[in-house]
Amino acid sequence: MRTNLADWLWRRVCRALLLFACLFTPLSTPMSAAAAAPVVVIPLKGAIGPASADFVVRALARAADEHAQLAVLELDTPGGLDLSMRSIIQAILASPVPVAAFIAPSGARAASAGTYITYASHIAAMAPGTNLGAASPVQLGLGGSEREPAGASKAATAQSTETRKQMQDAAAYIRGLAQLRGRNVQWAERAVREAVALSATEALEQKVIDLTASDVPDLLAKLDGRRVTTASGAHVLATKQAPVIVLQPDWRSRFLATITDPSVALILMMIGMYGLFFEFANPGMVLPGVAGAICLLVGLFALQLLPINFVGLGLIVLGLGFLVAEMFLPTFGSLGIGGVIAFAIGALMLIDTDVPGFGVPIGIVIGLALFTALFVFTVSGVALKARKRPVVSGAEAMLGSVGVMLTNEGAAPDVGNGWARVQGERWRVRSAAQAALPGEGARVRVISRHGLTLTVEPLEGEREVGHF
C-alpha cells in the first residue's frame, strides 16, 4: 500500500514539473534569444559626406544581416551635405533594426544635418555637455527676411524665391520626421527657421530627445525593456547584458573619404590632365598616359559625388588649357598668366556649398597655381630659347659631321677617293692629304665641302662594327 502511494505521489510531482516547464519555457526562450542578440555601434564623426553616408548605410545593412537588436549611431558632426544626410535618413527609416542616435561623448554636437538624423532615429539620446540644433541650410543664410525689398531686381527676387523654397522644404522635412517619431514639432521647425540649439538637459525637458546617458553602456542599461516599432514590426530591447560590436570604417570608406576631399579631387584632376598632355606630346612614354587616365577618372568620380559649380569646373579646364597652350605658343606670358588666374578663380568656385569640412582651402589653391605657373613658364622659356637658337644649314652644316666609309677606290689616278655615308646620304669623299682613305666601315670626319665632294680625315682607332 505504501509502495502504491509513493508511486502515485511521484507521478503527480513529475506531472507538475512537466506542466511548469511547458508553461514557462515559451516565455523565457525569447528573452534569452533577445539577450544574445548583439548591439552594433556605428561611430559617425566629422562632416557628413558621400563617404560617411556610404559607411552608415552599409553598417545598417550589416546590422540587419547579423540580426542585431539595436544599432547605436554615435554622432559628433557639424553638419554635412544634403544628399548624404538624406541617404542616411532613408536607410534609418527603412531599417528593420531599431536605430538609436546618441550624441556623444561629452562635448560633441549634432548640428545641422545631425539634427535631422537625430529626429529620424527611433530613439534619440544625448550625453551631458552635448548640444544639437542650428539646422538651417547654411547656403541660405540665417535670419533673412522673406519680404522683398522695394525695387529689388529680378535676379534678387529669383534668388530670394529660391531661398524661401529651400527653407520651406527643409522645415517640412524635419517637421515630418518629428511627427513620425512623436517629438517636439515646434522646436524642430524653429531649429530650421531660426537656427536655435539646445543642450542635453534642455532637449530632454522639451521632449526633443528621449533620454540622456553618460556613455554607451549607460545608454544600453536605460534602454533595456523598451518597446520600439520599426519597419519590420515591434521589438522589445534586452540590451543590459547584450554583446556590443563597434564597427569602424573599412578600406572602402577610407578610400572614398580620401578622394572625395575637394582638395584631393582637384589635385587628382590636375595630375590626370598633365599626364595625358605629356603622353600626347611624347607618344610611347606610356606611364604618364596610364597614370594620367587613372587619376583623371578617379578625380571626376569624386567630383560627381560632390556639389560642384560647373562654372568653376569650366574655368579650371580653361585655365589648364591656356597653360598648356603657353608651352607650345610662347606669348610672353599672356596665355600663362590668364591660365593661372582662370585656374585660381575656378578652384575657389569649384565646391558649391558652405558646409564645414567641404571646400578647397585658399592655401591649396595658391600653392597649386604657383607650382603650375613656375612649371609652365620654365618649359615655355626653354622652348623660346630653342627657337631663338640660329639654325645652321648648307655647307656649314656638314662641317664636323661623322660618316662611315662605304668603298675605297685605291687605284691610280684616284688615290684617296671613295664613297661614304654622311648624315644618312651617300657622298663622294676624298682624303685631306692625298693619302689613302681608311677601309670600308671605318669612321671619318668631314673637314670641308667642295660642291658634291667632301674632304674627310680618318678617325683613328674607330670603326663601325657590322656595317656593310
* pLDDT tens track for 157-203: 555 777 788 888 899 999 999 999 999 999 999 999 998 999 999 99
Shared-domain flag, residues 361 and 290: yes
DSSP category for residue 77: B
* CA distance linking residue 170 with residue 187, whole number of Å: 14
Give the rounded percent of residues in the chain with a pLDDT score beyond 70: 76
2 found inside a domain: no
Cα 91 vs. chain centroid, distance in angstroms?
22
In 3-state terms, what secondary structure has residue 378? helix
232 found inside a domain: yes
User: Which domain range does residue 117 map to?
Assistant: 23-145+154-252
Q: How, if at all, do strands 402-409 and 442-450 pair?
A: antiparallel
353 found inside a domain: yes
Please give the residue that has the higher pLDDT: either 397 or 424. 424
3-state secondary structure 277-306: HHHHHCCCCCHHHHHHHHHHHHHHHHHHHC
Shared-domain flag, residues 226 and 317: no
| pLDDT tens sequence across 119-143 | 999 999 999 999 998 888 765 333 3
What is the reported pLDDT for 409? 61
Shared-domain flag, residues 435 and 288: no
What is the reported pLDDT for 351? 79
Q: Is there a contact between 122 and 181 (Cβ–Cβ < 8 Å)? A: yes
Res 26 pLDDT > 70: no
Quote the strand ranges of 305-372, DSSP E.
Answer: none
Cα 433 vs. chain centroid, distance in angstroms?
74
| pLDDT tens sequence across 44-103 | 998 898 999 999 999 999 999 999 999 999 999 998 888 899 999 999 999 999 999 999
Domain boundary among 218, 252, 286: 252
> Around 272, how many Cα atoms within 13 Å sit in the side-chain half-sphere?
16
Shared-domain flag, residues 97 and 130: yes
Shared-domain flag, residues 202 and 80: yes
Shared-domain flag, residues 315 and 193: no
* CA distance linking residue 46 with residue 79, whole number of Å: 8
Domains in the chain, number? 3
Res 450 pLDDT > 60: yes
Domain boundary among 236, 252, 268: 252
Shared-domain flag, residues 229 and 346: no
pTM of the model: 0.67
* CA distance linking residue 312 with residue 234, whole number of Å: 50
Query: Buried b vs exposed e over 308-318: b needs ≥16 C-beta within 10 Å?
Result: beeebbebbeb
Q: Is there a contact between 249 and 260 (Cβ–Cβ < 8 Å)? A: no
Crossing angle between the packed helical segments 362-388 and 334-349, to the nearest 10 degrees: 160
Give the rounded percent of residues in the chain with a pLDDT score beyond 90: 32
| pLDDT tens sequence across 302-342 | 888 888 888 888 888 888 888 777 767 766 667 778 888 88
**Over residues 224-249, mean pLDDT:** 90
Domain boundary among 205, 220, 252: 252
The three cell numbers locating residue 365? 589653391
33 found inside a domain: yes
Shared-domain flag, residues 242 and 279: no
* CA distance linking residue 87 with residue 322, whole number of Å: 40
Shared-domain flag, residues 113 and 40: yes
Q: Considering just the CA atoms, what is the radius of gyration of the chain in Å?
A: 40
CATH of the domain at 436: 2.40.50.140
Shared-domain flag, residues 101 and 165: yes
Shared-domain flag, residues 289 and 207: no
Shared-domain flag, residues 81 and 49: yes
15 found inside a domain: no
304 found inside a domain: yes
* CA distance linking residue 283 with residue 289, whole number of Å: 9
DSSP 219-255: HHHHHTT-EEEETTEEEE---TT--EEE----HHHHH
What is the reported pLDDT for 415? 55
230 found inside a domain: yes
In 3-state terms, what secondary structure has residue 212? strand
What is the reported pLDDT for 43? 95
What is the reported pLDDT for 457? 83
CATH of the domain at 30: 3.90.226.10
74 found inside a domain: yes
Q: Residues 173, 179, 185, CA angle at the centre, nearest 5°?
A: 80
| pLDDT tens sequence across 363-395 | 888 888 888 777 777 766 665 565 555 555 556
